[in-house]
Amino acid sequence: MASKYELDQMLQKVIETNSKLSNHVEALLDEIGQKQSRIADLNWELEETRAKHKETLLKFEEYVKKNMKNKKEVTKAQFQKHWLETFEQQRTDN
């Protein structure tokens, strides 16, 4: 059987180990919270991008119905120019 001194040392080691583990668990929980927050932000951004994409597709369909109805042949450059003027207004040339 272990002496009182040895038992005391073992108890101190267990307390020290538990303290380190609890600090580690706390750090992990903080990291999980940060990652969950980032995921929520990315999901919000994704939904916003999807909504903008849907809006752009609707504008595109309207544009095609309006401007391409009777035109059978439109050059690629002309189409791109019209597209950029209509939909890519946030674009800047460097």
Average pLDDT in the 31-56 region?
95
Q: What residue spans define the domains of the chain?
A: 4-87
Q: Is residue 85 over pLDDT 90? A: no
Which residues, at least 6 apart from 56, have a Cβ–Cβ distance to it below 8 Å?
87
For residue 52, how many other CB atoms are within 10 A of its CB?
Answer: 10
- Residue 23 to residue 17: CA distance in whole angstroms: 10
pLDDT per residue over 51-74, tens digit each? 999 998 888 888 777 776 656 556
